Structure 1
Amino acid sequence: MAAIFSFKCASCDEIHEGSPSFSFRAPDPWLAQPEAVQEAGHLGSDVCRYEDEDGRQFFIRVVLEVPIHGVADPFLWGVWVSLSETSYERYVDTYDAPDTGDRYFGWFCNALPWYPDTLGMKTSVRPRANKQRPYIVLEASDHPLAVDFHQGISVQRAQEIAEAVMHGEA
């Protein structure tokens, strides 16, 4: 049986319980847009769209689940991916009753702390039932995040990442 994640933080000396979970309020490309572009666009809790000099841009919020060895729940990152207009429209059209067999290609759109450049990593978006955010599968590569996603991380590594992110050291 897998354990529940908890650790005594080396930075603040407190006990933290439950697998780490961090999220981003918006895709990084949205945050880089001028105020006028943002005002003409839309940022919601699960979808984002705008038009810039490169054309129309579409994003959805997803979950990246990194397994922690020996722990029941994964390390969670609430991140954003960009989708094509066709995939975005399909996602929005099926939002209330997603087809869990759908797969959307997406580009990773947040720079995760702790990891080298994560922007633009290739993903496969997988919708889930019961109003759960979709999860993503990272394309296999030698990028440290892709390696962690596919191979899992140790409890010690999960603690190191969590401490660094919680205390702004990443």
Structure 2
Amino acid sequence: MSKNIKYICECCGEEHEEWPSLAYSSPTHYNNLTEEEKQTIAELTSDFCVINYADQTDKFIRCTLTQKVIDHCENLEYGLWVSLSDKSFEDYSENFNNENHETKYFGWLSNYPPDYENTTNIPTTIYTRKGNSRAEIIPNNDFEHQFVKDYHNGITKEEAERRINQMLKSIEK
């Protein structure tokens, strides 16, 4: 593809030509719940998700991940969810509106980006950023998984555009 991808933004309803972010509105764990469970044991906002199972509570935050595109001047952006420990989730929640809060947390990737299997077991480091931007996900380099390799080595423009088109087609369904 030599032309930019045109798409209609789900948020504003307008047509854009730059690459869209491949964003997920909820973690996979939430998506796997029944409609009744979503109403009774889960709480989802645009930045936080808590699922209260009988034997445990899972806590997630929405973050970003920037995928380097090795033969193009634009990177591929993802909006993904990660699970955090209780302590990390509480610290993140308490400092969510603190523009100067910078720290890092350990978390587990909690979505399935296209073409990858078993990504919910990928360990990550999450870095908060000044200015209340969403935290940035960095997959742990020592974990053996194609998603991690692609993150650290980069992908081609052709691959990035294929992923974007695949995501856009799944939204249209």
Q: TM-score scaled by structure 2?
A: 0.81
Superposed displacement of residue 20, structure 1: 4.0
Distance in 1 (alpha carbons) for counterparts of 2:109 and 2:63: 10
Q: Superposition pairs for residues 125-136 of structure 1, below 5 Å?
A: 125-136=126-137
Which runs of 5 or more structure 1 residues have no equivalent in the other structure? 10-15
For residues 105 and 43 of structure 1, the distance between their equivalents in structure 2, rounded to whole angstroms, comes to: 21
The Cα offsets for residues 95-147 of structure 1, whole Å up to 9 and x where unpaired, read as 111522x1111111111112233122111111112221111000123422111
Count the aligned residue pairs: 157
**Root-mean-square deviation over aligned CA pairs:** 2.2
Letter in 2 for 1:18: E
Is 1:145 matched up with 2:152?
Answer: no
Superposed, 1:29-48 pairs within 5 Å as 29-40=29-40, 41-48=42-49
Shift of 1:167: 2.3
- Structure 1 distance, partners of 2:63, 2:159, is 23
Is structure 2 residue 8 aligned with structure 1 residue 7? no
TM norm structure 1: 0.82
In structure 2, the residue matched to 1:18 is: 18
Match in the other structure for 1:95: 96
In structure 1, the partner of 2:8 is: none
Q: Cα 1:8–1:61, aligned 2, differ >3 Å: closer, same or farther?
A: closer
Is the Cα contact below 8 Å between 2:67 and 2:75 reproduced in 1?
A: yes
- 2:4·2:19 contact (CA, 8 Å) conserved in 1? no
Once the two structures are aligned, what percentage of the paired residues are identical?
27
Partner of residue 70, structure 2? 69
Give the structure 2 partner of residue 111 of structure 1.
Answer: 112
Structure 1 equivalent of residue 80 of structure 2? 79
* Distance of 2:34 and 2:53 partners within structure 1: 9
Q: What amino acid is aligned across from residue 113 of structure 2 in structure 1?
A: L
Conserved? CA contact 1:125–1:137, under 8 Å? yes
Query: For 1:51-107, what per-residue CA distance to the aligned partner results, in whole angstroms no more than 9, with x for missing partners?
Result: 10331111000111101124343211111111011000000111111522x111111
Indicate if the aligned counterparts of 1:20 and 1:162 stay in contact, CA closer than 8 A: yes
Provide closer, same or farther for how the CA distance between residues 53 and 146 of structure 1 changes in structure 2, counting only shifts above 3 A.
Answer: same
Q: Which residue of 2 aligns with 1:167?
A: 169
**What secondary structure sits across from 2:150 in the alignment?**
helix
